[in-house]
Structure 1
């Protein structure tokens, strides 16, 4: 058993912290909305802290899952940030999807203060978090990774060290780029099939077993066909992630034409009022155009 802190109890962090508690660890949580932290503590039997610093004090491992780079800086190096409460030898595991630059920035500060840092963004969505089967892409040094992995395993089915600090975030960028292209392709296929009067369930039952098959097809085709877009990662968050991808691509001199195009399609979905729809709502955009 380890003493663990978890900062950020959104749709991902709330169940992730629960799996850490179920794994036998002593968990203290912090959330910007204190009522949510108290609810988690009442539900899981852990403790709630009033600041990130208070949550991190005495912890062996401090996990974090917040919104973006600015949120991450606030809860780590802000006035009451976790870094001010961490002890030498502890490890900070950042599950936020953020930039590689902020990961390197915070890792350097952590090293100066005598504790470890891992950038460890996750994939698998809300369902993966709730079921404890997330994929975790980690950047950092081998020794820190080896020490933290048994704890990370509480909410993961796959944990991999991708390279030095920032490599976890770069891997997550690749993940999001793949998803953006897949969802647009799936949306276009379903849109054509519906226009042509095909039975989408029958079609997917066949093509999902061939080269066109994907997680998105298996898990999202049915809700897309029914016009339901309340089943996962929100468009607002996807646009945040794609902005990180495009900024990194610009810095690296890489060309991401499809990613840039799909990002603009998501902007169209936002203008339709679909900010909180899940990422499969690209189909709704096509259907609106086709009317």
Structure 2
């Protein structure tokens, strides 16, 4: 687990908007790093429970949470959710002080990152799109990979604070670059998970001891994070780990839409997206993304 306590780092006033399976532990790491944290969640009871467990304060609106904060972080659901916590009379931008930095960890379109980057600049604020990879376990262990787009100086200010819950924080370019990098990440994952599912289904049909098979091929060229972390649980039919099929299809939609604009061809991603649609149709939308194996076994989701 990442020791997020850094006694050389100043203590900042920070706000965190969105306390889902990712945001809840990320905000907790900010407290352990010594920051003064105010949280907001659309369901207020979650914010109250977070304060009970971690200390700090809760606020009834994003604007009030962001008031006087040096840094405001968010981890919500989609483009519209992000707009709802940033813009408008009760949005965070209305409460932030000039020069403050807004860091968004939601996986969104690159377009909304650029839109909010402009809106922030017009108000004398800074916006960084900073989607993450590493899943629920990465958030809990403070070991996320964070991909950032935005102003270089603002990134340098925010990077040490983000490291409270990250093992790697990298700026890829201007607004939207972080989201585009996250799309590359999701595209790469798609084929790996489907191939792993097919391999395990094949080995099962062949009558092999799949746990032994994984131990063998995991030491060779087939090894991957998905194989090491999801292969054993896929064999056991356990699909309750963090990132859900519904969320992955949302991300795939962002990738496919961006590809229509930039001319990239994504035939494997498009195919795997339809396989996830099959899992959804069978009632598995909240299962982990490794549930692709359910399509290939002689059993229902």
TM-score by shorter chain over 0.5 = yes
Deviates more, 1:216-225 or 1:70-79: 70-79
Tell whether 2:208 aligns with 1:208.
no
Which of 241, 246, 250 does residue 260 from structure 2 map onto?
250
User: In the alignment, is the contact (CA less than 8 A) between 2:21 and 2:242 conserved in 1?
Assistant: no
Decide whether aligned partners of structure 1 residues 232 and 288 sit closer, same or farther in structure 2, where only a CA change above 3 A counts. farther
Contiguous gaps of at least 5 residues in structure 2: 1-10
1:211 and 1:8 map into 2 onto residues whose CA distance is 39
Which residue matches 2:199?
Answer: 189
Q: CA deviation at 1:242?
A: 0.3
Tell me the secondary structure at the aligned position of residue 86 of structure 2: helix
Question: How many equivalent residue pairs?
Answer: 290
Sort the Cα spacing of 1:263 and 1:25 in 2 relative to 1 into closer, same or farther, 3 A. same
**C-alpha root-mean-square deviation of aligned residues, in Å?**
1.0
Pick from 230, 237, 246: which aligns with 1:236?
246
Matched, 1:88 2:116: no
Equivalent of residue 77 in structure 1, options 84, 87, 92: 87
User: Cα offset for 1:288?
Assistant: 4.4
For the residue of structure 2 that corresponds to 1:104, the secondary structure is: helix
Distance 1:257 1:221 in 2: 24
Runs (4+) of structure 1 exceeding 2 A deviation are none
In structure 2, distance between residues paired with 1:163 and 1:22:
30
- Alignment match of 2:43 (pick from 16, 33, 52): 33
More helix by percentage? 1
Between the aligned partners of 1:288 and 1:106, the Cα distance in structure 2 is 47
Deviation, structure 1 residue 289: 7.9
The residue that corresponds to 2:7 in the other structure is none
**Paired residue for 1:279, among 281, 289, 294?**
289
Name 2:52's counterpart in structure 1.
42
In the other structure, the counterpart of 2:170 is: 160
Residue among 273, 279, 282 paired with 1:269 = 279
Q: Aligned partners of 1:124 and 1:91: how far apart in 2?
A: 23
Match of 1:199 in 2: 209
Gaps of 5+ in 1: none
Residue-by-residue CA offset, 1:190-235 (whole Å, 9 max, x unaligned): 0000000011111111111111110000000111001111012000
Secondary structure of the 1:177 match is helix
Give the structure 2 partner of residue 219 of structure 1. Answer: 229
| CA distance in structure 2 between the partners assigned to 1:210 and 1:83 by the alignment | 50
Q: How does 1:50-61 map to 2 (within 5 A)?
A: 50-61=60-71
- Describe the shift of the 1:107–1:199 C-alpha distance in structure 2 as closer, same or farther (beyond 3 A): same
- d(CA) in 1 for partners of 2:298, 2:24: 35
In structure 2, how many angstroms separate the alpha carbons of the residues matched to 1:78 and 1:69? 15
- Whole-Å separation in 1 of the counterparts to 2:65 and 2:153: 24
Q: What secondary structure is seen at the aligned counterpart in 1 of 2:297?
A: helix
Q: Tell me, what secondary structure is at the counterpart of 2:220?
A: coil
Corresponding residue number in structure 1 for 2:181: 171
The superposition leaves residues 78-128 of structure 1 with CA deviations (integer Å, 9 ceiling, x where unpaired) of 341111101101000000000000000000010010011100000000000
Q: Matched residues in 1 for 2:73 and 2:267: separation?
A: 34
Query: Normalized against structure 2, the TM-score is what?
Result: 0.95
